[in-house]
Amino acid sequence: MARALFDPERGYYSRHIRAVGRGGDFATSATLSPSLGGAVAAWLKAESQIQPQVRHIIEVGAGDGSLMASVRKALGWWTRRQFTFHIVETSPVLREQQQKRLGSKTHWHNDLESALAHAQGHAFIYHNELLDAFPATLVQWNDAEQRWLEVWVPEALHPHHLDAAFFSVLRHDTFKDGQRCELHPSIRDWLRRWTPHWKSGAMLSIDYGDDFPQLYHRRPHGTLRAYLLHQRLTGTDIYANPGRQDITADINFTDYAAWLAELGLTAASRHTLAEFLRPHAAPAQLLDPDGAGSAFKCLVHRRLACAS
């Protein structure tokens, strides 16, 4: 999955992604609801009241740049001139689209550590549908052996070598035979790399997923799937177009919240996307609360500056 999405020469995000939204392979919540930028801007204003010393805003994985453009517009001229804006983007194709849309008033970085160094560790961070593109490890419950096995390509089962202490799935043994689940050690590793450089601020995480084990209710094959021209591909079809399609898996927010707590971040709030948008959107702009509006979750975590 890492090679299919991020290989420098043949990866989907590195070379082959064309656009996000109607003309691309998939849409994001930023394209599903035009009010998302206003809701993120309102969140930033509220957080700046709590930590007024923070003057940098970082978006991680900014797609075509449309979300940051709408956030800046919603902040208003007077408020946005008080902040410095940054984007962390590894895709050369998407970075070019972002630069055309946003111009020279935004700073680009290859990783979050670099962006935080520029901000001297003090920043508000947000990301929308970022985590679901992190490489996932696919495991399958084997009832006969009473253990989880890792699914390799092509469709072979092997013992895994992950620490069950960090993954709620691996501590669960009541699934039916053949149940598949996704693990994201890549997300935990990413968090552990950059959070030591973060001194103060708040982070808004927007993505689709659920707590465990509700995430896998009536989903015996797990959540791993691909998107090509807005067509959903599952099973072995995921392997059919490596480097030319998006591959994604839902987020286990039980694990994600535990990893952030382990790193000393404070959980501040959690809403569905529908709840997050409701105060900032006209009725016609609201997402279906039983569809995308509930499938997406908005989590806020804070890093408060230590008193000297």
- Note the helical H segments in 148-239: 185-194
Answer yes or no: is pLDDT of 250 > 80: yes
pTM over the 0.75 mark: yes
167 and 178 inside one domain: yes
Is 270 in the same domain as 192? yes
Q: Please name which of 60, 58, 61, 72 lies closest in space to residue 121, comparing C-alpha atoms.
A: 58
Q: Looking at residue 76, what is its pLDDT?
A: 95
Residues 155, 247, single domain; the answer is: no
Q: For residue 260, give the nearest of 164, 184, 163 by alpha carbon.
A: 184
**Which tokens sit at 149?**
């096995």
In angstroms and rounded to an integer, the radius of gyration of the C-alpha atoms of the chain is 19
Regarding whether 89 and 55 lie in a shared domain, the answer is yes
For residue 26, pLDDT over 70 is answered with no
Same domain, 114 and 87: yes
pLDDT tier, 17 (very low <50, low <70, confident <90, very high otherwise): confident
Q: Specify if 30 maps to a domain.
A: yes
282 found inside a domain: yes
pLDDT at site 230: 84
Residue 62 DSSP SS3? coil
**Quick one: 128 and 150 in the same domain?**
no
SS3 226: strand
Rounded to 5 degrees, what angle do the CA atoms 221, 248, 154 make?
60
Cα–Cα distance, 157 to 142 (Å, whole number): 10
Higher pLDDT, 121 or 279: 121
Q: Which residues contact 96 (CB under 8 A, 6 or more apart)?
A: none
Please indicate, yes or no, whether residues 166 and 215 belong to a single structural domain of this protein: no
Same domain? 290 vs 169? no
- Domain hosting 144: range is 137-183
How many structural domains are present in the chain? Answer: 2
Indicate the pLDDT class of residue 272, thresholds 50, 70 and 90: very high
Asked whether residue 308 is domain-assigned, the answer is: no
Do both 212 and 90 map to the same domain? yes
pLDDT recorded at residue 27: 64
pLDDT given at position 308: 40
Last residue of a domain, one of 167, 183, 199: 183
Distances, alpha carbon 192 to alpha carbons 116, 136, 138, in Å: 14, 17, 21
H and E: helices and strands count for the chain: 11, 15
Query: Are residues 116 and 228 located together in one domain of the fold?
Result: yes
Least confident of 103-112, 179-188, 194-203, 277-286: 277-286
Domain boundary among 125, 157, 183: 183
What percent of the chain shows pLDDT beyond 90? 79
Do residue 13 and residue 147 come from a single domain?
no
* Structure-model confidence comparison of residues 122 and 25, the more confident one: 122
CB contact at 8 A, 179 and 151: no
Say if residue 51 is in the same domain as residue 97: yes
Which domain-ending residue is among 163, 183, 203? 183
Residue 230, domain CATH? 3.40.50.12710
pLDDT above 60 for 282: no
Q: What is the pLDDT of residues 227-245, one digit of tens each?
A: 998 899 999 999 989 999 9
Residue with tokens 């204003």: 45
